[in-house]
Structure formats: structure tokens, C-alpha cells
């Protein structure tokens, strides 16, 4: 049951036919793992906290740098040098003191990922490198965990949802079979802040829809965002039967 303070806090949700009190209770009971507290993870975590997702597990191993502030809106200049997850926990609890926030302040390996995935309903990959994405993807395939992946660079963004609860679901390795580090990234190519925020916000929206049981428009569909034209392109991603991660011949 929702408390009186929760009914007031989430009153705009309760007005929605697709949410209501039952939906809000689903959000309250949900546990979401967000990996990466940078430009994607910051807005995603803040929107999920504000929405009343009951437990957020936030993971990162970096300290805040001045160069992060151009796009990582969850932090302030005075925060530089501090651990991102500790700063974000404070921020999320200040937004919504009625939720639980747990920090993982180190780089997770496959073993810890496997353990964490047993305790959550959904994973948001908000990392910024291919190695981490492939590691997270493999763990989610193994655990049959649902995964929403976001990425952004320059004026472009990417968004896709892999529901590994479904036997016909593709995986990140099906889409990008080569795990080598990309030559281009935010550090050497730059990124415009609002594009990262757009993708992170969309990850939060898809997470909320998934928890509520609403249909997704990005399951096995790669959405590409052009920040210059505001256009979206959509590509269907099919399961590769020969995929070494999720295929029959793995």
C-alpha cells in the first residue's frame, strides 16, 4: 500500500490510466541496477528516483572531474574529486528520501555482475566503452536479465532494449560482434551534453514502461538519434543463431 506522503508525491502518476496506484506500487517494488553514473546514468537515475522506483543500485568506480560537468548534470563544481556513486546517492536521496539507494563503488567483474543480477528486475547500461557493454551483455544473457543500453557521442545517440527473458531476443553481441574498443569516444571526439541527457532520459522512460508492463518501442530495435536534425532512425536487430554469447552454437 502507498502511504499518504507517497500518494501526494506521485499524485500526477496516479492520475494516469497506465499507472494509477497499482502501477505506482509496481514501481515501488522494483529494483533496478544502473551501471555508469556519467552523462547517461545521471539523468536516468534521477528520473527513476523521482518516479518512485523503490530500490536503485548504482555502480561506478570514477571520481568526478571538472570536464564531466559539461554533461553530467547530477553533480556540482564543488563535488570534483569525490566518488560519483557517493555523490549520486546523496542527490537521489535528496530528490526522493523514500527510496533505497545502494552504491557499488568499484569496477564490477563477471562474478559480481552475476550476483547483482539475481537481485534486480532490470539493468541500465550507461557505460561509455565497448568492453564494459560486452561484459554486461554477457552477464545479462546468462542471467536472463532485461537490459536497456544507451550510448552517445558528438551529436548522435543510440538506444536499444534486449529482453533476455524471451528466447528469441537478440543481444548486444549480435548487434556489435566485435568487442574491440572503439577508436572514437567522448574523450577524443566530444559530445554535446543534451544528446547524452536525451538518451539517458529515454532509458529511464523505457525502464518505467517495462516495470509497469507497458509495451516497448525499442525491444530488439536499435534507435539512432541525430541531435542536429532531431530525427530518429530505427533498425530491427535479429538474433544471430551463431552468436557466441546468446546463439544456439555458443
Quote the mean pLDDT of the chain: 92
- Centre a 10 Å sphere on the Cβ of residue 234 and count the other Cβ atoms it contains: 11
Structural domain boundaries, residue 120: 4-236
Looking at the domain assignment, is residue 82 inside a domain? yes
Q: Do 162 and 149 touch, CB atoms closer than 8 A?
A: yes
The fraction of the chain above a pLDDT of 70, given in percent, is: 95
Cell numbers that stand for 175 in this block = 548487434
Residue 249 has pLDDT above 70, yes or no: no
- Centre a 10 Å sphere on the Cβ of residue 17 and count the other Cβ atoms it contains: 6
Nearest to 245 by CA among 178, 158, 180: 178
Query: What's the CATH number where 37 sits?
Result: 3.40.50.720
Distance between first and last Cα of the chain: 45
Looking at the domain assignment, is residue 246 inside a domain? no
For residue 102, the model assigns a pLDDT of 96
Looking at the domain assignment, is residue 134 inside a domain? yes
Is residue 171 annotated as part of the catalytic site, yes or no?
no
Q: pLDDT per residue over 9-33, tens digit each? A: 999 999 999 999 999 999 999 999 9
Instruction: State how far the Cα of 197 lies from the Cα of 202, in Å rounded to an integer.
Output: 8
Looking at the domain assignment, is residue 247 inside a domain? no
Instruction: State how far the Cα of 206 lies from the Cα of 122, in Å rounded to an integer.
Output: 11
Catalytic option among 171, 186, 243, 246:
186
| Prediction pTM value | 0.92
Residue 1 has pLDDT above 90, yes or no: no
For residue 151, the model assigns a pLDDT of 93
Residue 247 has pLDDT above 90, yes or no: no
Looking at the domain assignment, is residue 201 inside a domain? yes
Looking at the domain assignment, is residue 248 inside a domain? no
Q: pLDDT per residue over 203-214, tens digit each? A: 999 999 999 999
Q: pLDDT per residue over 61-109, tens digit each? A: 999 999 999 999 999 999 999 999 999 999 999 999 999 999 999 999 8
Looking at the domain assignment, is residue 244 inside a domain? no
Find cell 557499488 and name the residue: 104
- Centre a 10 Å sphere on the Cβ of residue 209 and count the other Cβ atoms it contains: 16
C-alpha torsion 107→109→115→117, nearest 10: 80
Looking at the domain assignment, is residue 243 inside a domain? no
Q: Of 249 and 135, which is predicted with more confidence?
A: 135
Q: Of 247 and 228, which is predicted with more confidence?
A: 228
Count of domains in the chain?
A: 1
Number of alpha carbons in the 13 Å side-chain half-sphere of residue 46: 19
Please give the sequence-ordered ranges of beta strands (E in DSSP) within the chain, or none if there are none: 31-35, 55-59, 100-104, 122-125, 146-153, 156-163, 221-226, 231-236
Amino acid at each position: 500500500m502507498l502511504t499518504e506522503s507517497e500518494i501526494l508525491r506521485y499524485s500526477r502518476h496516479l492520475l494516469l490510466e497506465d499507472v494509477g496506484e497499482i502501477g505506482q506500487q509496481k514501481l515501488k517494488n522494483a529494483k533496478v541496477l544502473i551501471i555508469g553514473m556519467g552523462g547517461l546514468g545521471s539523468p536516468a537515475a534521477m528520473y527513476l528516483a523521482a518516479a518512485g522506483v523503490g530500490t536503485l543500485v548504482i555502480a561506478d568506480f570514477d571520481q568526478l572531474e571538472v570536464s564531466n560537468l559539461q554533461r553530467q548534470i547530477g553533480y556540482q563544481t564543488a563535488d570534483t574529486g569525490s566518488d560519483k556513486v557517493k555523490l549520486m546517492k546523496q542527490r537521489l536521496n535528496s530528490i526522493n528520501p523514500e527510496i533505497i539507494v545502494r552504491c557499488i563503488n568499484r569496477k564490477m567483474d563477471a562474478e559480481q555482475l552475476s550476483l547483482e543480477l539475481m537481485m534486480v528486475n532490470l539493468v541500465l547500461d550507461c557505460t561509455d566503452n565497448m568492453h564494459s557493454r560486452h561484459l554486461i551483455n554477457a552477464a545479462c544473457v546468462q542471467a536472463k536479465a532485461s537490459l536497456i543500453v544507451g550510448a552517445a557521442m558528438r551529436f548522435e545517440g543510440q538506444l536499444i532494449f534486449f529482453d533476455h527473458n524471451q528466447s528469441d531476443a537478440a543481444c548486444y553481441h549480435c548487434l556489435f560482434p566485435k568487442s574491440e574498443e572503439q577508436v572514437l569516444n567522448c574523450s577524443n571526439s566530444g559530445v554535446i551534453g543534451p544528446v547524452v541527457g536525451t538518451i539517458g532520459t529515454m532509458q529511464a522512460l523505457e525502464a518505467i514502461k517495462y516495470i509497469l508492463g507497458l509495451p516497448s518501442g525499442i525491444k530488439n530495435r536499435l534507435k539512432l538519434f541525430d541531435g542536429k536534425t532531431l530525427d530518429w532512425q530505427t533498425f530491427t536487430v535479429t538474433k544471430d543463431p551463431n552468436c557466441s554469447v546468446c546463439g544456439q552454437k555458443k
